[in-house]
C-alpha cells in the first residue's frame, strides 16, 4: 500500500481559467494595473496564491488581501472546478489499495466541495489546505507520520504540477511525480529534476504500481 499525495490546482482540478479570471478581478479591485496571463502562473518558482499575487505586481502589503479574495471567489463559485479528463476513475482505482491525501495552497473548504461534486470525497483520507499551518514539505511529513502504519517509506509519492511540488517532495524525502497537464510546462518542471514525469493521467497508475 502506498501513500499518494496530490496537489490540487492543476493536478486534479482544472482551475487555470478561474485563476486568471479571479486574479484579474482582484487586481482590478485592488487598483493594481496588471493584465493577468498564464505566464504569471507558469513561471513561478513557488506555486501559491501569494506568489501568484506577487507575479501580478500586487504590492506586498496587499498580497494577503489578494490571497483571501481569490480564495473567497473559489468558495462562492456556483459550481466547483472541472476535474481533468479521466482522473476521477484513476483516483477511485488508486484509492482501493492505497492511502490518498491532498496538500494544497487552496482552502480545505474549496477542495472538499470539489471532491463531493465529483464523487471523490470517500477516496481521499485527508486534505491539508492553506488553512493548516506549515509548508508543503512539512505537511508531507505530517501525512507520512499520520499514515506511517499503513505505508512503506519507499512507497510515498507527491503528485504535482509545479517546481515547488517537486522541491517539497525532495525536502520531505518522498518520490516526486510531475504532471504536464497542469500550470507549468515540461521544460520548467524538468528544472526541478523530478523522479518521474507523466504526460497523461493514466500513466500515473503505471508509475505508482511499478514503484510501490
CATH classification at residue 127: 3.40.50.1000
**Domain tally, the chain:** 2
Same domain for 66 and 10? no
Supply 106's cell numbers: 487552496
Same domain assignment for residues 91 and 55: no
- Mean pLDDT confidence for 24-50: 93
The arithmetic mean of pLDDT across residues 41-51, rounded, is 89
| pLDDT cut 90: percent of the chain above it | 81
Q: Compute the distance between CA of residue 192 and CA of residue 83 in angstroms, rounded to an integer.
A: 25
What is the distance of C-alpha 158 from the center of its chain?
10
Distance (Å, rounded) from C-alpha 22 to C-alpha 16? Answer: 10
In terms of domains, do 136 and 160 share one?
yes
- Whether pLDDT at 21 is above 70: yes
d(CA 147, CA 151): 7
Q: Report pLDDT digits (tens) over 162-187.
A: 999 999 999 999 999 999 999 888 99
Asked if residue 45 and residue 98 are part of one domain, the reply reads no
Q: What is the mean pLDDT of the chain?
A: 92
Span 47-73, average pLDDT: 96
Which of 76, 98, 118 lies at the terminal end of a domain, its last residue? Answer: 76
Same domain, yes or no: 96 and 199: yes
Q: How far does Cα 115 stand from its chain's mean position? A: 14
Q: Which of 59, 76, 93 is the last residue of a domain?
A: 76
Task: Say if residue 8 is in the same domain as residue 24.
Answer: no
Task: Tell me the percentage of the chain whose pLDDT exceeds 70.
Answer: 97
Per-residue pLDDT for 155 more than 70? yes
Q: State which of 56, 76, 96 marks the end of a domain.
A: 76
71 in the same domain as 173: no
User: Quick one: pLDDT band at residue 46, thresholds 50, 70, 90?
Assistant: confident
102 and 70 inside one domain = no
For 59, the domain range is 16-76
Q: Are residues 186 and 109 in the same domain?
A: yes
Statement to judge: residues 86 and 71 lie in one domain: no
Mark whether 51 and 10 lie in a shared domain. Answer: no
User: Does the pLDDT of residue 154 top 60, yes or no?
Assistant: no
- Average pLDDT (50-55) is 96
107-120 tens-digit pLDDT: 999 999 999 999 99
Measured CA to CA, the distance from residue 137 to residue 174 in angstroms comes to 10
- H-only helix segments in 38-135: 39-42, 49-55, 63-76, 87-97, 108-117
Same domain, 8 and 104: yes
Amino acid at each position: 500500500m502506498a501513500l499518494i499525495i496530490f496537489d490540487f490546482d492543476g493536478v486534479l482540478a482544472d482551475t487555470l481559467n478561474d485563476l486568471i479570471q479571479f486574479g484579474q478581478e482582484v487586481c482590478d479591485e485592488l487598483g493594481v494595473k496588471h493584465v493577468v496571463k498564464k505566464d504569471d502562473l507558469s513561471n513561478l518558482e513557488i506555486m501559491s496564491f501569494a506568489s501568484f499575487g506577487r507575479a501580478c505586481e500586487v504590492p506586498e502589503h496587499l498580497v494577503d488581501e489578494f490571497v483571501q479574495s481569490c480564495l473567497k471567489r473559489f468558495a462562492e463559485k456556483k459550481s466547483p472546478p472541472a476535474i481533468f479528463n479521466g482522473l476521477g476513475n484513476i483516483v477511485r482505482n488508486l484509492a482501493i489499495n492505497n492511502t490518498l491525501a491532498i496538500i494544497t495552497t487552496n482552502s480545505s473548504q474549496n477542495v472538499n466541495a470539489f471532491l463531493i461534486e465529483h464523487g471523490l470525497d470517500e477516496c481521499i483520507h485527508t486534505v491539508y489546505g492553506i488553512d493548516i499551518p506549515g509548508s508543503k514539505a512539512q505537511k508531507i511529513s505530517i501525512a507520512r507520520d499520520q499514515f506511517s502504519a499503513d505505508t512503506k517509506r519507499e512507497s510515498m509519492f507527491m503528485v504535482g504540477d509545479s517546481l515547488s511540488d517537486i522541491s517539497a517532495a525532495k525536502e520531505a524525502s518522498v518520490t516526486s511525480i510531475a504532471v504536464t497537464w497542469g500550470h507549468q510546462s515540461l521544460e520548467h518542471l524538468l528544472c526541478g529534476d523530478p523522479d518521474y514525469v507523466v504526460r497523461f493521467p493514466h500513466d500515473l497508475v503505471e508509475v505508482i504500481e511499478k514503484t510501490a
